[in-house]
Structure 1
Amino acid sequence: MNLTKLASVQLVLWNICRQYNQDPEAIFQKARLDPELMYQPGARYPLEKVAILWEEAAERIKDPCFGLAAATCWHPTHFGTLGYALLMSQSLRITLERLLRFHKVLSEARFGKIHEDREQGTLVFTLTYRDEKPYPPGREDAALAWIMSTLRINFHHNLTPVFVTFTHGRPACAGKYYELFKGPITFDAPTAALALPLDQVDVLLPGANEELAQFSDQAMSRYLATLNDDSWANRVRRLIMEHLPSGAITVEKTASELHISTRKLQRLLKEEGTTFLALLNATRMKLAKDYVQQDNMDLTEIAFLLGFSELSTFSRSFKRWTGQSPVKYRQAA
């Protein structure tokens, strides 16, 4: 199964690249990822391509500590509903528990674990890599930097970790780690981890709003229910969304990426009551409506993003789907 990650999360890396005067679009192009998907609610990227994205960024950005910039390059919207739910948590412990409980909203790969060490008086969050390769240094740094930033925003006071560990070696810019985390740092450690003092993890947070947080939890649970749908139709939809901008999405190509024959894919979809063409048209129609409602998107650009070679062909299809031309639909929205 091809694991995926919420596309909007990569806006963090996009912002980091811009901060370092690198062209993020070129980096996304190298990884064969469509940047427009980051602005589509629920759109997801294949994890294997996200890994390529971070590797390419590391090659272009000469600062080995670039991942730490994630601490100032994120916004709650980048992490969907979970981004806001984390900021409404009652305590630092609940913040981390919520992150792990609903991390699948962000990525289908398992992400971390929490361990309470009463003897040392710490609550330790540790990155885990059970479903994907270990993060390269920049991505590992970014993960812990973002988590530390989120916890500090929640705490509303100075928050110093008991210790922070990284699996990579000590870089020449190591001072940046001490400047950001303001606590003991260990490099070349067996795991990447962040430890918090136990006497602070259960303190009621000023921004806590458990009612809204639980409402967000319910929304995420509903989203995960759809994400857990591992039907062949759902797998095909994901591949269609990924390849639409190239215009090269066909039933043959889709079957090849799913490692089955075209005939078998057609049979499996038929058993689920659909066809490849029906899924392609439904996906195009849904994305078309979303795109057209965005005033800042040119209609010709939308046509190409949906795999149409001509604006006129897209306009005819859109009118067939909605009964209105794209221009009239946008005006009425």
Structure 2
Amino acid sequence: MKNSDNSVQNYYSTLTGWMIPTSKAMDAHSIDIAAALKECDISQDVMADQESRIAAEKLTQLIHYCNAQLVRHDFSILIAEQFHPGMFHALGYAMMSSNTLQDALQRIAHYKRVVSNTCKLVNYEEDDQFVFEMQIITYETTNRPVLSLVTVETFLATIIRFSRELVTLDFSPIKVCFAYAKPDHDISYLEDFFNCEIEFSSDKTAIYFDLEQTQEKLMCGNPLITQSHEKMLDEFMARVDKNDLTHVIKNKIFELLPLGAPSQTDIADYLGMSLRNLQRKLHDQGTSYKEILENTRKKLAMDYIVQQHLSLSEIGYLVGFSSVGNFNRAFKRWTNQTPGDYRQGKKS
């Protein structure tokens, strides 16, 4: 048995910087931002800290909501047209000061973890073309891509909008490929925006550029500015990586809890590191395996307790307790109430 979908989905996230162009697009088309965030269960605080993250599924939900409000399918393009380098943190400004478009595209691939943990970006030359490919992560249980088509449209369109800022406003790629089935609705908005061949059901999700054009020197190139921003990015990546270890551990705990709470040794083996090394890394981050396990169990239990179709014994099992008594004691430690009393209070 696997952990709940929501728990896994919340692991895959992206920078809240995406809310900059998204909110601008909403405002430009008279979509009530507060109502939209509430409908999609997104906190309004999400735009206050540009280093915080938003679940990729939530961003997808918001794009779908906006498409529905406008009774159209092109909100992904409307977001891209509101491109601002700040949406990618310091990476956006480092890209804007790159010597060539190829340099900029390679830079976003290198620092991709700053933006999101939902895919891998790969750049390579193929004949006389430069390929910018998205290798999108899939959920283990369903093999479904963690990014939906509308989110991928938004990202690739943003890359092209950014490219036009660097090169020329009428810049167009050679081809855009999607490893997704062609949607039922009219896709002319994609053809109009990208101004090139659009291929669906491809073996990859990628943009094909003219190689020579990506290697032309840009007027905005400034190595000193780029170096300054890369220093900031390296520091930010260190913070991202530091937090990511905790996320990876939480994700594995989610998966294993129905089989019983995994031991610290189990997790160290999964991560391919010694127990002592894991303990040291967590200590350096000001936490411990015991604390992560406790917080993860509590978070899951609080999610499950309001789901009336789950019995209390099932919830105890799902969060890794071998007996109802152990679960009851832990729950009372977390809330000062028994699970039954807490659930009853939520119903009244």
Question: Equivalent residues in 2 for 1:147-296 (5 A)?
Answer: 147-156=159-168, 158-166=170-178, 167-169=180-182, 172-230=185-243
Name the counterpart of 2:97: 88
Name the counterpart of 1:25: 34
Task: Tell me whether 1:125 sits opposite 2:137 in the alignment.
Answer: no
Task: Tell me whether 1:77 sits opposite 2:86 in the alignment.
Answer: yes
User: The residue matched to 2:242 in structure 1 has which SS?
Assistant: coil
Partners of 2:244 and 2:126 in 1: how far apart?
41
Partners of 1:231 and 1:199 in 2: how far apart?
37
Distance 1:273 1:141, change over 3 A: closer
Alignment partner for residue 25 of structure 2, among 13, 16, 22?
16
Name the counterpart of 2:122: 113
Task: Tell me whether 1:6 sits opposite 2:15 in the alignment.
Answer: yes
Name the counterpart of 2:153: 141
User: The residue matched to 2:38 in structure 1 has which SS?
Assistant: helix
What per-residue deviation string (whole Å, max 9, x for no partner) do you get for residues 30-85 of structure 1?
33222323231312223343344344444444212221112312211222111111
> Which amino acid letter does the alignment assign opposite residue 215 of structure 1?
S
> Which amino acid letter does the alignment assign opposite residue 164 of structure 1?
V
Partners of 1:199 and 1:36 in 2: how far apart?
44
> Which amino acid letter does the alignment assign opposite residue 124 of structure 1?
V
> Which amino acid letter does the alignment assign opposite residue 237 of structure 2?
L
Q: Once the 2 structures are TM-superposed, how far is the Cα of residue 271 of structure 1 from its aligned partner?
A: 9.9
Structure 1 alignment gaps of length 5 or more: 239-254, 277-333
Partners of 1:22 and 1:273 in 2: how far apart?
42
Is the Cα–Cα contact under 8 Å of residues 5 and 106 in structure 1 kept in the other structure? yes
Is the Cα–Cα contact under 8 Å of residues 70 and 142 in structure 1 kept in the other structure? yes
Is the Cα–Cα contact under 8 Å of residues 138 and 146 in structure 2 kept in the other structure? no
Is the Cα–Cα contact under 8 Å of residues 64 and 171 in structure 1 kept in the other structure? no
Partners of 1:65 and 1:45 in 2: how far apart?
21
| Number of equivalent positions | 251
Superposition misfits of 4+ residues, deviation over 6 angstroms: 258-261, 268-272
> Which amino acid letter does the alignment assign opposite residue 135 of structure 2?
T
Is the Cα–Cα contact under 8 Å of residues 9 and 106 in structure 1 kept in the other structure? no
User: The residue matched to 1:128 in structure 2 has which SS?
Assistant: strand
Is the Cα–Cα contact under 8 Å of residues 12 and 78 in structure 1 kept in the other structure? yes
Is the Cα–Cα contact under 8 Å of residues 112 and 121 in structure 2 kept in the other structure? no
Partners of 1:36 and 1:229 in 2: how far apart?
23
Greater shift after overlay, 212-221 or 153-162? 153-162
Q: Once the 2 structures are TM-superposed, how far is the Cα of residue 164 of structure 1 from its aligned partner?
A: 1.6
Partners of 1:145 and 1:95 in 2: how far apart?
15
Structure 1 length-normalised TM: 0.65
Alignment partner for residue 104 of structure 1, among 106, 113, 116?
113
Distance 1:195 1:271, change over 3 A: closer
| Identity of matched residues, % | 19
Partners of 2:76 and 2:244 in 1: how far apart?
36
Structure 2 length-normalised TM: 0.62
Is the Cα–Cα contact under 8 Å of residues 170 and 188 in structure 1 kept in the other structure? no
User: The residue matched to 1:156 in structure 2 has which SS?
Assistant: coil
Is the Cα–Cα contact under 8 Å of residues 123 and 201 in structure 1 kept in the other structure? yes
Distance 1:209 1:231, change over 3 A: closer
